[in-house]
Amino acid sequence: MSGVKAGLISYSKDCIAGRIPSGQKHKWACQRFLNDLNRIGTPDFPFLWDETAAQKIVDWFAYLKHSKGVLAGQPIILTDWQKFRECQIYGWIHRETGRRRFRKAFTEVGRKNAKSQMEAGEALYELSVTAVKNNEVNEVYTAGVKRDQSKIVFNECDLMTRGTLLRTKFRFKRDQIEHLKTGSFMKALSKEDGKSGDGTNPALLVIDEYHQHPTTDFYDLALGSNTKEPLTSIITTAGKDLTYPCYTQEYDYCSKLLDPNVDVWNDEYFVDICEADPGDDPGALDTWKKANPIRAYYPEGVQKISEDYEVAKQMPEKMVAFLTKMLNVWVQAKDNGYMDMAKWKACEVQELPIDVAGRPVYVGFDMSSKIDLTSVAFVVPYQSAEMDAQGQRIVRYVVWSHSFIPTTDKLREHIVKDKMPYDAWERLGYLTLTNTPIVDQNFVMKYVLDECERLNLDIQCLCFDPANASKIMMDLSNQGYTVEEVFQSHKSLNESTQTFREQVYAGNVSYTHNPLLNYAMSNAVIRTSNGLIKIDKDANTKRIDPVDALLGAFKLALYHDFDMEGYSDYVANFLDGMEA
């Protein structure tokens, strides 16, 4: 068996097995490719592999020439890693329309790994081959934080075609490249273009070094694209500013998309992240190869990385730049994620281990914003048949959650901002649209009481953050329910936050599939104060509401008195007998 697909299968297996040094996220990208091949023909995967289209992009690059370095003037023969990106972007097609599967592509890799070369080759291909195929006048734009940076890919298109047969197919001007046959054109955008976006209809939008962009102005230009096969192409290196959208949005989202333990799916987004893993030796060649799939594979490239590493060792202030640019690591990113998502995913079950009917339940509420997402969580503690080291029955927990959102407009806003399928979650029953100007707390409470009645649950306690729920807490208390305040302080939440994670890691928590809860759990980060921890709501722009509700309920469920359960049953039976 030979061909592009066979080569990519072999390459992916070598990366996963460690025969080719690869970081965890690149391994996940390889496994995603292999999984997708197995999904061909299934109802939920409307895409096919087009070997001819995949080979065509390989041949296209071979018509172009290297413009710099030791290979200057020679035809561009794509490496296996380059094929992994380019052939997937162009080789996967929709089985009914025949159009390209991927509408976005995000690749993160160390410096000097042919980023501009790949983006320029894609730009020329879209200007000509794709435009002819679709009978369209394609607009291609390159976008950097400064005009000079925007011109890097633009200028590379000029340099790569010099001395080639393709040169005559284009007209090269100072500020525009035109494809003669279709009239398609390419321009480098300025900062002002990003802010206004007037008149642009990008078939291809190339965002260069996205880690330097302080806003999503250029990224958002693609939202209005009206072409048959639009593509947003991002190839970047890691950066230092963790407030910029490349880190807070794209890198975070794309990392979750690759992670098999997180329920984030997007079959129209190609992602590959080549970075060193935590704990890797920054001076080891195998570490360099993880983040430099081209540069670390030829002598001159290895020599340059080695020289830079020696400088960084002797001058610690240079190490940050080395880790960021050479090893593609967001060095200021702190290891403050709350949950090991592989361990959390291991707690997911098809069927609950117990029948919850008649069991005690603790209900937590996150009412932090009535005009935004509101969540409730249920925690049912129970004694298992297993014994711990002290001969006590091990306590385990069944948990589930549900969320609410007020309006369709808010639903759409979250879809765009979070890049998550809230509409699908609403259809599947994980989220309820209340169709009210704000999330009505009485509506939420009715859901909770109906759920408890449906499952015949014995409500032990209703757990609220009092900041946004004083009125409903008072009303429920007057109705006879036990209501507890859960203050959002380190002292109040430390034990709950610590112990719930420990119980997850010990395998003592069970939950059925809930992608919204899983998404929230993957977003949760912790804040530490004097050795105490809690979920950091202020620092997190992502949705964590179901987790807040869950930890509020767990705070009280942790102290559930199983001996009193039996006593309560005895009293209830005694009173029933008296009435009889």
Alpha helices per DSSP H over 126-211 = 131-134, 147-161, 191-196
Do residue 163 and residue 227 come from a single domain? Answer: yes
Q: Are 118 and 82 in contact (CB under 8 A)?
A: yes
Domain containing residue 401 = 341-566
Question: Which residue matches tokens 């079950």?
Answer: 349
Do residue 399 and residue 546 come from a single domain? Answer: yes
Confidence at residue 305, expressed as pLDDT on a 0 to 100 scale:
96
Confidence at residue 574, expressed as pLDDT on a 0 to 100 scale:
47
Confidence at residue 57, expressed as pLDDT on a 0 to 100 scale:
97
User: Model-level pTM?
Assistant: 0.76
Where on the phi/psi map is residue 144: left (φ > 0), alpha (ψ -120 to 50), or beta? beta
d(CA 140, CA 127): 7
d(CA 91, CA 4): 9
Closest CA to 118 of 67, 166, 74, 73: 67
Q: Are 4 and 33 in contact (CB under 8 A)?
A: no
In a domain, 573, yes or no: no
Q: Are 219 and 245 in contact (CB under 8 A)?
A: yes
In a domain, 336, yes or no: no
- The torsion angle over the Cα atoms of residues 81, 85, 91 and 92, rounded to 10 degrees, is 130
Confidence at residue 242, expressed as pLDDT on a 0 to 100 scale:
76
Confidence at residue 567, expressed as pLDDT on a 0 to 100 scale:
44
DSSP 243: T
d(CA 580, CA 564): 24
Do residue 188 and residue 228 come from a single domain? Answer: yes
d(CA 251, CA 235): 11
Amino acid at 527: R
In a domain, 496, yes or no: yes
d(CA 430, CA 544): 15
Amino acid at 186: M
Confidence at residue 132, expressed as pLDDT on a 0 to 100 scale:
96
Do residue 316 and residue 396 come from a single domain? Answer: no
In a domain, 572, yes or no: no
Triad 33, 125, 68: Cα angle to 5°? 90
The CATH number of residue 443's host domain is 3.30.420.240
| Domain finish residue from 277, 294, 326 | 326
Do residue 406 and residue 299 come from a single domain? Answer: no
In a domain, 577, yes or no: no
Which residues are registered as beta bridge partners of 397?
381, 509
Question: Which residue matches tokens 């705070």?
Answer: 555
Q: How many separate domains does the chain show?
A: 2
Confidence at residue 570, expressed as pLDDT on a 0 to 100 scale:
44
Do residue 303 and residue 360 come from a single domain? Answer: no
Alpha helices per DSSP H over 179-251 = 191-196, 245
d(CA 119, CA 117): 6
Do residue 308 and residue 359 come from a single domain? Answer: no
What is the DSSP track for 86-107? HHHHHHEEETTT--BS-SEEEE
Do residue 423 and residue 301 come from a single domain? Answer: no
| Domain finish residue from 301, 326, 351 | 326
Question: Which residue matches tokens 């460690």?
Answer: 18
Which SS3 state, helix, strand or coil, does residue 116 take?
Answer: helix
In a domain, 420, yes or no: yes
Q: Which residues contact 30 (CB under 8 A, 6 or more apart)?
A: 11, 12, 13, 15, 16, 22, 84
What is the DSSP track for 45-89? --EEE-HHHHHHHHHHHHHSB--SGGGTTSB----HHHHHHHHHH
d(CA 571, CA 256): 51
One digit per residue, the tens of pLDDT, for the chain of length 580 reads: 579 999 999 999 999 999 999 999 999 999 999 999 999 999 999 999 999 999 999 999 999 999 988 889 999 999 999 999 999 999 999 999 999 999 999 999 999 999 999 999 999 999 999 999 999 999 999 998 888 888 999 999 999 999 999 999 999 999 999 999 999 999 998 776 655 555 689 999 999 999 999 888 888 888 877 899 999 999 999 988 777 889 888 999 999 999 999 988 999 999 999 999 999 999 999 999 999 999 999 999 999 999 999 998 887 778 888 999 999 998 755 557 888 888 998 999 999 999 999 999 999 998 866 567 899 999 999 999 998 888 889 999 999 999 999 989 988 888 888 878 899 899 999 999 988 888 888 888 999 999 999 999 999 999 988 777 777 878 888 888 888 888 888 898 999 999 999 999 999 999 999 999 998 998 898 888 888 989 887 655 678 899 999 999 999 999 998 887 654 454 455 455 545 4
Do residue 516 and residue 375 come from a single domain? Answer: yes
Closest CA to 428 of 403, 406, 452, 446: 403
φ, ψ at 337 (rounded to 5°):
-65, 140
Q: Are 121 and 76 in contact (CB under 8 A)?
A: yes
| Domain finish residue from 326, 353, 369 | 326
Alpha helices per DSSP H over 419-561 = 422-428, 441-454, 470-478, 490-505, 515-523, 545-557
The CATH number of residue 313's host domain is 3.40.50.300
Angle between the N-to-C axes of helices 147-161 and 115-125, in degrees from 0 to 180, rounded to the nearest 10: 70
Amino acid at 475: D
Do residue 353 and residue 319 come from a single domain? Answer: no
Confidence at residue 486, expressed as pLDDT on a 0 to 100 scale:
87
